[in-house]
């Protein structure tokens, strides 16, 4: 229990929200068959190794990766893969991908997601001719398919690459819509601090960017702007939470909201970093960032939105502050990790825009240069 909790406290945005689930998981693992128990032990040892230092021993991680990818490779050769088998193959994929975001490169993450793609699709309840319904995934108890779709949406925002899948973003029932809007509702906000409604907006913007590029209708842009504005930050329900930590968590959620605005204005509306809307949001982010002391929590959960906000940042003093906060996160300093790749991508964007405003396509060019895919 301690081993699992160590990784959760260090790498999860709101650990108190899932402690009961961790306890149940540990107790249930005692009744698993031998192979599943060995996998649980691998995951636990891997989590402890990664959470304790960046000079980690990746033996357990590599063993887990070999086991899981072996299963994926075999499943991809099956002509009549059933949903039940696909769900079994997806098992523990979220632990592997979570760890890979910490210790692997961005190229490795994207390659692994590509391997898992047909298995994920078969594990979803929709027919082959239908799009996967993302709101339904947000309330599913299966964290593996939920995490894959969430990661798919995020990687597209961060890399200016298409999503592996298109998603149906409609609410198939009023009950699902109400659940997603709940402060302590289902979804993965507890993991990275991204509100469900922001995730839905990001998915919608990814699709629009693929279809229309940087020239969407003004009416559509206004709807997206309103959707982002309607998103509110959520405080933890525990009365024992440190007020300073509460402020930090509020700031993470606010940063995702501001990053969504930048994505809208620069990605879909074609604005550059000198546009008044972008400048206004960027200044708001810098004020927010200055108000929170540099610490692992919240800074480790700001790496993704800070990368997006960095694209909108032109002033040397602001770039220096963002870079300092990123370098303060241990994973960002280690070569060959996603965190370090994102820092290199951001620096590449700044280098190529020294004498002009930044545009959204600079992100794609920098990403291609750094991860060489």
pLDDT by residue for the chain (373 residues), tens only, comes to: 444 444 545 566 655 555 555 555 555 555 556 667 788 888 888 888 887 677 888 999 999 999 999 999 999 999 899 999 999 999 999 999 999 999 999 999 999 999 999 999 999 999 999 999 999 999 998 999 999 999 999 999 999 999 999 999 999 999 988 888 775 667 777 677 788 899 999 999 999 999 999 989 999 999 999 999 998 877 655 555 677 778 888 899 999 999 999 999 999 999 999 999 999 999 999 999 998 888 888 899 999 999 999 999 999 999 999 999 999 999 899 999 999 999 999 999 999 999 999 999 999 999 999 987 5
Question: What radius of gyration do the chain's Cα atoms show?
Answer: 20
The domain containing residue 280 runs over which residues? 2-371
Q: Count of residues for the chain? A: 373
Give the separation between CA 45 and CA 178, rounded to whole angstroms: 38
Tell me whether residue 241 is exposed, middle or buried, using C-beta atoms within 10 angstroms of its C-beta: 0 to 12, 13 to 18, 19 or more: middle
Give kind and range of the element (H or E) at residue 223. helix 218-229
Give the separation between CA 344 and CA 10, rounded to whole angstroms: 24
User: Mapping DSSP to helix (H, G, I), strand (E, B) and coil, where does residue 133 land?
Assistant: strand
Total domains in the chain come to 1
Q: Are 300 and 352 in contact (CB under 8 A)?
A: no
Supply 318's token pair.
């602001």
User: Which pLDDT belongs to residue 26?
Assistant: 55
Give the separation between CA 355 and CA 360, rounded to whole angstroms: 16
Residues forming a β-bridge with 231: none
What residues contact 284, with CB distance under 8 A and at least 6 apart? 258
Q: Is the pTM of this model over 0.85?
A: yes
């Amino acid at each position: 229990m301690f081993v699992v909790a160590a990784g959760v406290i260090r790498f999860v945005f709101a650990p108190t929200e899932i402690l009961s689930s961790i306890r149940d998981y540990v107790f249930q693992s005692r009744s698993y068959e031998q192979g599943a128990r060995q996998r649980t032990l691998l995951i636990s040892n891997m989590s402890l190794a990664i959470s304790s230092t960046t000079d980690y021993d990746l033996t357990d991680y590599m063993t887990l990766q070999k086991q899981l990818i072996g299963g994926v490779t075999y499943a991809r050769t099956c002509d009549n893969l059933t949903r039940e088998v696909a769900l079994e193959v997806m098992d523990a994929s979220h632990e592997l991908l979570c760890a890979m975001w910490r210790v692997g490169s961005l190229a490795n993450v994207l390659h692994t997601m590509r391997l898992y793609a047909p298995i994920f699709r078969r594990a979803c309840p929709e027919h082959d001719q239908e799009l996967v319904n993302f709101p339904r995934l947000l309330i599913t108890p299966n964290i593996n398919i939920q995490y894959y779709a969430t990661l798919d949406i995020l990687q597209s925002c961060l890399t200016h690459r298409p999503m592996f899948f298109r998603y149906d973003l409609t609410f198939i029932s009023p009950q699902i819509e109400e659940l997603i809007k709940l402060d302590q509702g289902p979804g993965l906000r507890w993991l990275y601090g991204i509100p469900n409604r922001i995730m839905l907006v990001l998915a919608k913007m990814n699709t629009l960017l693929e279809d229309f590029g940087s020239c969407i209708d003004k009416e559509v842009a206004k709807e997206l702007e309103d959707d982002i504005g309607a998103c509110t930050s959520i405080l933890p329900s525990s009365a024992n939470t440190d007020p300073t930590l509460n402020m930090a968590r509020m700031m993470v959620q606010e940063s995702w909201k501001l990053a969504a605005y930048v994505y809208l204005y620069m990605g879909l509306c074609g604005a550059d970093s000198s546009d008044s809307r972008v400048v206004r949001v960027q200044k708001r982010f810098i004020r927010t960032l200055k108000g929170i002391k540099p610490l692992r929590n919240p800074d480790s959960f700001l790496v993704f939105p800070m990368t997006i906000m960095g694209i909108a940042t032109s002033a040397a003093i602001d770039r220096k502050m963002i870079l300092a906060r990123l370098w303060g996160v241990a994973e960002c300093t280690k070569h060959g990790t996603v965190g370090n790749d994102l820092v290199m991508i951001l620096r590449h964007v700044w280098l190529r825009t020294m004498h002009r405003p930044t545009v959204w396509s600079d992100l794609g060019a920098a990403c291609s240069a750094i991860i060489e895919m």
